[in-house]
Amino acid sequence: MSIIKKMKVSAIKKVSAVIVLLMPLFVMVGCGSQPVHKSYAIPERSHSQQCYITQKESYIWLEQEDEWFALPLKARQQFEQEQIDWSEENVLIVSLGQKPSAGFDIELSQWLLEQDYWQVTRITSEPESGSMQAMMMSSPCVLVKIPKTIKSFSLINPEGRILGRWPY
């Protein structure tokens, strides 16, 4: 084999070795440049039949602990077990207000969870006409924790009408 041919083969082997060694680096750089999409699960909700928020139907968005302490003491006590990390979470409380009997309920369903935007449907139920219900004042509500990474959150009714949008 001639010297020139040997040099060409040697150069090809070196280039091949460099390519093989650099390939994982190219793959890592390529994968690392893709945007990260966080996967979200439907958040757990806490329900109470005695929320002690007595004004009519209301939607309360809390971003800081001092806003939490502005709620009536009895309302906060219903959710004492909730471990709220105010640096990481906002809180939404959806209340039906004061009702004359048991049997009223509120549910959050049909969650749409996108990277920066969440939407949920508020569904309420009332006791059937003529059904037997405990005659007691109730104030049903639901509390849900929303990550602060969510830039926009909407609450809608089953017909699609926006009931609230946060932050404002």
Instruction: Please check the confidence at residue 164 and state whether its pLDDT lies above 90.
Output: yes
Res. 138 pLDDT band, cuts 50 70 90: confident
Instruction: Please check the confidence at residue 22 and state whether its pLDDT lies above 60.
Output: no
CA 55 to chain centre: 26
For residue 54, which of 137, 114, 168, 120 has the smallest C-alpha distance? 137
CA of 9: how far to CAs of 1, 19, 21, 48, in Å? 10, 15, 18, 78
Quote the pLDDT of residue 165: 96
CA of 161: how far to CAs of 31, 99, 108, in Å? 41, 23, 15
**Virtual torsion, Cα 70, 76, 124, 116, nearest 10 deg:** 70
Q: How many CA atoms lie within 13 A of 103 on its CB side?
A: 13
Quote the pLDDT of residue 127: 85
**Where are the domains positioned within the chain?**
1-31, 45-166
Instruction: Please check the confidence at residue 25 and state whether its pLDDT lies above 80.
Output: no
Greater confidence, 57 or 135?
A: 57
Residue with tokens 């219900």: 133
Quote the pLDDT of residue 126: 86
Question: Per-residue pLDDT tens for 65-116?
Answer: 999 999 999 999 989 889 999 999 999 999 999 988 888 899 999 999 998 8
Average pLDDT, the chain: 83
Residues 6+ apart with CB under 8 A from 144: 43, 44, 45, 46, 91, 92, 94, 108, 120
